[in-house]
Amino acid sequence: MPLVEPLSADANQDVKKLAEFFNETLGFCPNSVLTMQIRPEIARSFINMNKAVMENYGRVTSALKRMIAWVSSNAAGCRYCQAHAIRAAERYGAEQEQLDNIWEYRTHPSFSDAERAALEFSLAASVIPNAVNEEIKKELYKHWDEGEIVEMLGVISLFGYLNRWNDSMGTSLENGAVESGKQYLQKHGWNKGKHQ
């Protein structure tokens, strides 16, 4: 049971309109946003930040941003965000082989060296204590420019917020996210955990 129950999707019309963004990314409005709207300014600010961070500016594709989010959420242990990130990666065109082998991104041939560098950065930036070092930086700069690195860290930081929010809140997982979690993550032990 969540710490605080989410409100109805119709509770705040301004938030509802902004939250339409999630119908594209996930196919539903997340329960996390429906809980945030208890304080509408938090929900509005979060949605606008999410839109800015996830906007596709070029080579850091929408699919890669969602895989970065998955690695970050996996490092943090947030099962809610793991399921959401893998679902969004699927909806934004991640290759089937990458989705099926996300746990093996370091070695699986469906991931490029540039993607591996981005995903390693996500892992290093998401653990505590932070593990970003000169080696991570050197590998990033082989493949990505400063603007792209800023985009990646935006995703990692956004999901740092979401990981804390959803794990502390015990946010209930939506059916669509559960389906994606079962399809791509369950074979490696994923389950809903506290997010019933």
Q: For residue range 140-150, list pLDDT tens digits in order.
A: 999 999 999 99
Residue 175 has pLDDT above 90, yes or no: yes
Question: Higher confidence at residue 160 or residue 14?
Answer: 160
Is the confidence at residue 21, as pLDDT, over 90?
no
- Chain segment 148-172, per-residue pLDDT in tens: 999 999 999 999 999 999 999 999 9
Mean of pLDDT values over 42-52: 96
Looking at residue 15, what is its pLDDT?
A: 87
Count of H-run helices and E-run strands, the chain = 11, 0
Tens of pLDDT, residue by residue over 61-91, are: 999 999 999 999 999 999 999 999 999 999 9
Question: What is the Cα–Cα distance from 24 to 4, expressed in whole angstroms?
Answer: 26
pLDDT in tens, 104-139: 999 999 999 999 999 999 999 999 999 999 999 999
Token duo for residue 170 = 């015990």
CATH class of 58-188: mainly alpha
129 exposure class (CB count in 10 Å sphere: 0-12, 13-18, 19+): exposed
